[in-house]
């Protein structure tokens, strides 16, 4: 284990020396810093924040439906000058000129009652009629009045919204956290794209130097007649391959740098140098704990409840809209008309209204029953779908915990393989210089060394990808043992 740790440390020093030759024109970033920058500056984080704000104002709109409403409406002015048809006693029509203003103001107060779906209201009204042809002014007003409107046997949207909208709001809050954790997953991919490109460039440049040195020694052996011309040609071919690899690695690094810079919102033109992330994390992950946190934190878990509640609401709506629909209206107050505005409020006369409006379907050819049965069938389908989604939800988490444990072990194995391949290549190179190893065996050791180094970076990528995926699936920080929260 000590040898492995020393190797990882030496590999980090090699990468550091290779990509930080000039600290004045480069910026060195760790994986943690890149993730923080992406969460703070990326377009994806701004989109997530905007979506969160939009959902918040939708929630505020919902809350306002249950608050008292005060409104002023009217027509001021309501001027008219035209000809209107007037039916005469003998049934004929004459067009008479009219010239008047009929202005009105209405101040109303209302309060919805979620439990019953009814509305209680109060109102005060004032109307002024000016007859310009006859030089006459008349006021009509309702100094004050109160009333109540109650739908009977109808769908109560207020009651169902009160059950469903809080679930939607909580779902949106957790979805925002998931969006931020998804950013971590995405930027981790960009981070390791660039890290692998940088390692490939470092490997390619080192290989080119080694190939040139070996070829120089081989040329000396050729002059002494110790090797054949074929080996020289093979080394020349290896050198050309190394030169080509350097060019391709530079191209890949530029592309990966641009992708990472664009995603994290880094405007600086400085060269980016990435630090090798650690190969271990001090945390314990248990499947039961991850499942418990996922059911408590994930938006999907809230959506399971919300989707079933919406299906039940649709059944209630189908039943409420297809049967006996009635509305009870009742109000009482005082009203009066007068020549002067102030007289409207002196000794007004009381007024009362009691009204029941109803619709009874007698023959609808089974339409009401069909709508209800459709809603019920849809509810059953949603319940089955939610149950299936729950199973997938659980399976994803169990699989991810297993994958995380596997990737943690793979990092250790890949580091060991990289160390062995590097040592094997060094031995092969020394043996070739001494003349007791073929160029073919040297080429094989050369390829194995490069592949082992790339495999180690890939295993690191898989390990950290599994780590951030685990955070995403549970919305829980297992390092700090606390829920993930964003302000």
Q: Could you tell me if residue 205 is left (phi over 0), alpha (psi between -120 and 50 degrees) or otherwise beta?
A: alpha
Does residue 230 share a domain with residue 192?
Answer: yes
Instruction: Decide if 318 is inside a domain.
Output: no
Does residue 254 share a domain with residue 385?
Answer: yes
Does residue 264 share a domain with residue 179?
Answer: yes
Does residue 472 share a domain with residue 384?
Answer: yes
Instruction: Decide if 371 is inside a domain.
Output: no
pLDDT at 246: 85
Instruction: Decide if 317 is inside a domain.
Output: no
pLDDT at 23: 42
Does residue 43 share a domain with residue 98?
Answer: no
pLDDT at 124: 94
Instruction: Decide if 319 is inside a domain.
Output: no
| Domain containing residue 217: CATH number | 1.20.1600.10
Instruction: Decide if 314 is inside a domain.
Output: no
pLDDT at 10: 42
pLDDT at 18: 41
Instruction: Decide if 6 is inside a domain.
Output: yes
pLDDT at 5: 39
Instruction: Decide if 366 is inside a domain.
Output: no
Does residue 467 share a domain with residue 345?
Answer: no
Give the number of domains in the chain. Answer: 2
Does residue 148 share a domain with residue 179?
Answer: no
pLDDT at 432: 64
Does residue 401 share a domain with residue 275?
Answer: yes
Does residue 208 share a domain with residue 303?
Answer: yes
Bond prior to 77 in cis (omega within 30° of 0):
yes
Tell me the residue range of the domain where 453 lies: 2-61+161-308+379-483
**How many angstroms separate the CA atoms of 235 and 222, rounded?**
12
Residues 6+ apart with CB under 8 A from 356: 326, 327, 328, 329
Does residue 347 share a domain with residue 263?
Answer: no
Does residue 298 share a domain with residue 389?
Answer: yes
pLDDT at 130: 94
Q: How remote is the C-alpha of 268 from its chain's centroid?
A: 28
Instruction: Decide if 180 is inside a domain.
Output: yes
What is the value of pTM for the model shown? 0.81
Does residue 144 share a domain with residue 168?
Answer: no
Q: Which residue stretches of the chain have pLDDT < 50?
A: 1-24
């Amino acid at each position: 284990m000590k040898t492995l740790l020393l190797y990882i440390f030496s590999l980090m020093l090699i990468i550091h020396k290779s990509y930080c030759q000039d600290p004045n024109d480069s910026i060195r970033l760790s994986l943690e810093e890149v993730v923080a920058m992406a969460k703070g500056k990326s377009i994806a984080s701004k989109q997530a924040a905007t979506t969160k704000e939009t959902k918040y104002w939708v929630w505020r709109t919902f809350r306002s439906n249950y608050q008292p409403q005060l409104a002023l409406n009217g027509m001021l002015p309501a001027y008219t000058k035209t000809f209107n048809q007037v039916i005469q006693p003998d049934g004929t029509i004459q067009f008479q000129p009219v010239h008047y203003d009929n202005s009105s103001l209405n101040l109303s107060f209302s309060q919805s009652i979620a439990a019953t779906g009814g509305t209680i209201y109060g109102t005060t009204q004032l109307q002024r009629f000016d007859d310009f042809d006859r030089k006459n002014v008349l006021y009509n007003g309702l100094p004050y009045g109160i009333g109540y409107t109650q739908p009977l046997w109808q769908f109560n949207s207020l009651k169902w919204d009160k059950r469903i909208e809080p679930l939607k709001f909580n779902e949106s809050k957790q979805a925002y956290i998931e969006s931020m954790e998804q950013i971590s997953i995405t930027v981790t991919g960009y981070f390791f794209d660039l890290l692998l490109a940088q390692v490939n460039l470092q490997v390619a440049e080192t290989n080119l130097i080694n190939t040139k040195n070996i070829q120089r020694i081989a040329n000396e052996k050729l002059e002494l007649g110790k090797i054949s011309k074929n080996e020289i040609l093979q080394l020349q071919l290896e050198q050309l391959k190394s030169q080509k690899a350097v060019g391709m690695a530079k191209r890949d690094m530029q592309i990966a740098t641009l992708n990472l810079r664009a995603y994290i919102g880094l405007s600086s033109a400085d060269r980016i140098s990435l630090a090798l992330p650690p190969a271990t994390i001090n945390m314990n992950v248990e499947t039961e704990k991850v499942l418990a946190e996922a059911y408590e934190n994930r938006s999907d878990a809230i959506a399971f409840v919300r989707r079933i509640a919406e299906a039940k609401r649709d059944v209630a709506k189908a039943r409420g809209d297809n049967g006996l629909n009635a509305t009870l209206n009742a109000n009482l107050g005082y009203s009066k008309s007068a020549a002067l505005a102030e007289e409207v409020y002196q000794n007004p006369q009381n007024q009362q209204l009691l009204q029941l409006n109803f619709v009874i379907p007698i023959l609808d050819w089974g339409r009401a029953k069909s709508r209800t049965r459709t809603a019920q069938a849809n509810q059953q389908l949603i319940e089955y779908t939610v149950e299936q989604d729950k199973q997938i939800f659980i399976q994803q988490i169990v699989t991810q915990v297993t994958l995380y444990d596997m990737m943690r072990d793979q990092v250790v194995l890949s580091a060991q393989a990289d160390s062995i391949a590097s040592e094997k290549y060094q031995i092969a190179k020394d043996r070739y210089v001494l003349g007791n190893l073929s160029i073919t065996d040297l080429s094989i050791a050369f390829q194995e060394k490069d592949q082992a180094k790339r495999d180690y970076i890939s295993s690191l990528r898989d390990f950290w990808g599994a780590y951030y995926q685990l955070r995403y699936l549970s919305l829980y920080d297992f390092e700090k043992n606390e829920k993930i929260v964003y302000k």
